[in-house]
Chains A and B, each alone.
Chain A
Amino acid sequence: MEKLILKVEDLYYKYGNGKSALDGVNVDIYEGEKIAVLGSNGSGKSTFFLNVDGVLKPEQGKIIYRGTVINKKNLNELRKNIGIVFQDADNQIIASTVKAEVGFGPMNLKLPKEEVLKRVEEALAYMNISDLKDRPPHYLSGGEKKRVSIADIIAMKSEVIIFDEPTAALDPLNALMLEDVLLKLESEGKTMLISTHDVDFAYRWAERVIVFSHGKIIADGTPLEIFQNKEVLKQANLKPPTLLEIYESLVEKYLLEDNKAYPKSIQEFKKIIEK
């Protein structure tokens, strides 16, 4: 069994206007997991992320990171180890050059300057944007800004990385780039949480799917379990992944034998039908 990295117990959060955003959330996250967080707009995903990162203070509930309960004193420990790539890069990029931007997190960690520089160089090389290093963010394209915002978090070397709807504003090429980066991060053993509306992506990529609805987690399991559960899909207003639907309808019409070998990618699907 993998090690428990983050435990969220009975989390409640209310916004200033009295609207409850999180309504008793319990979840355990283990080292190296790849989790897709699904749910319609306003179901509490982003609020959950901000709570988990210690930016928003929960009304009630505990966040336990590697066995230590997070309180005011060790809040920065949590922020150091959990990084969020925000949905809108323009809301995240604060500095006026790419280098200063990527260095912002490490500088806040109070690292020595040489170490900061080293990390910045590494993170820029990682995201393949070393040549943008002296450019100001306002002359970058959307895809480039996204890369910068991911490099921000990579430079902080956090163990858990949260992506808030990373594919929302990306063209297909940049979305592909993002998936490459995710693969690379996975090979480094990072724990990742990605909120998305792209069920095909969630089905293909995730090991575990968490579904939010009205501030509660209504389902938590493997992608297959979740996407075959009509009840959950209906409640969260999700549609099943295309590939899964095709496979199931082919099985239903006896065009394929039902050996439960659910394909996750087009390649896998092709292999099955070529047999």
Chain B
Amino acid sequence: MGKIIILSAIFFMVVFFFKWKHKDEHTHEGKIHNRHHKIGHKHGEGYSIDFYAYTSKIRHWNATFKVSLSVLTLILCIIFDNPYVSAVVIIAMAYLIIVKGDLSVHMYLSILAIPIVFILVGTFTIAIDFSKQPMGEYNLYLGFCYVFTSKVKLKAVSFLILKVFAAISALQMMTLSTPSTEIIYVLRKAHIPKLIIELMSLIYRYIFILMDIYTKMKNSAESRLGYCDFKTSWYTFGSIASNMLVISLNKANSYYDAMEARCYDGNLIFLEEDKKVEIIQIVAAAVFIIFLIFLWGFTR
């Protein structure tokens, strides 16, 4: 089992090496990216994840298929609790997104970097412990107490990291290849209550509208020196926030009018279409799942 620790350590080293190597290319690549899709906005990560989903090459795959594959993989990762399975899942999902979905490695890693930070911080506290006496296989004297850890603990933590990471990449596969509308559609088919579904679609649409309004207000405040010092910034931010509330109420009103004008009668129904699912995709997914089960069986 010691090998696995080394393996996972190597894996993370490769990831960080990649990240470090591409760091200086970052600004350069970012520019190209922005020039490349003119229609994309530049508002932060939330926006780009949404945008990647629309440009993904596997977007045309059947949404139900993608969502169920990703959720099934996620569940298997958690119930098997097996490092080999986790490693295979991480690689398979990266393959799907990067090779099949045609997302650049750099983009994928920068999206994963956010959860990685959380995972590392979260698991670090599990790995170490404090005590008055020197104990464990590795310890460090801090002057008033010992920080210690053991091989068993380190192993458990690295397995945990692998597991969480695999689960995240399974979900990331879904979010990076399926636009929110299609995910909502799948949820509707799974008989999630209508109210929640309608709220989800409206909130999704609204996020972008409010974001747009916020950007406009911020820009206009900025052009009038609204952010010239710390105190003013706070004041401006507060004014914008309260104004946003008023505007969103107004918008809700005019939306309702527009919906009524088009015969809205209390049921929010959108035109949705099933995309064809190819047999080869189902077969490949089934093989993948069976392989995971066998892998778990042999390495238990």
Contacts and interface: CB of A to CB of B under 8 A. Distances in A.
A244 interface: no
Q: What are the 9 tightest A-B residue pairs by CB atom distance, in nearest-first order? A: A103-B271, A138-B208, A108-B263, A105-B262, A100-B270, A91-B254, A96-B181, A92-B258, A139-B39
B54 A104 contact: no
6 contacts: A88-B254, A94-B202, A94-B255, A107-B269, A107-B270, A108-B269
Given A91-B254, A135-B54, A138-B208, A83 B271 contact: no
A96 B201 contact: yes
Contacts of A79: 260-263
A139 B54 contact: yes
Contacts of A94: 202, 205, 255, 258-259
B278 interface: no
A34 to B, nearest CB: 21
Interface of A: 50, 53-56, 76, 79-80, 83-84, 86, 88, 90-97, 99-100, 102-109, 113, 116-117, 120, 135-141, 152, 156
A42 to B, nearest CB: 16
Given A50-B257, A95-B270, A76 B265 contact: yes
Nearest to A135: B54
Contacts of B270: 95, 100, 103-104, 107
A80 B204 contact: no
Given A54-B260, A94-B258, 14 more contacts: A79-B260, A95-B181, A95-B271, A96-B201, A96-B205, A107-B271, A108-B265, A109-B263, A120-B271, A138-B209, A138-B212, A139-B39, A139-B41, A156-B262
B238 interface: no
Contacts of A108: 262-265, 269
Contacts, number: 104
A91 B251 CA distance: 7
A79 B257 CA distance: 11
A152 B180 contact: no
Interface string B271-286: 1110000000000000
A107 B264 CA distance: 9
B261 A83 contact: yes
A126 to B, nearest CB: 17
A117 B251 contact: no
Interface string B154-183: 000000000000000000000000011100
Nearest to B53: A136
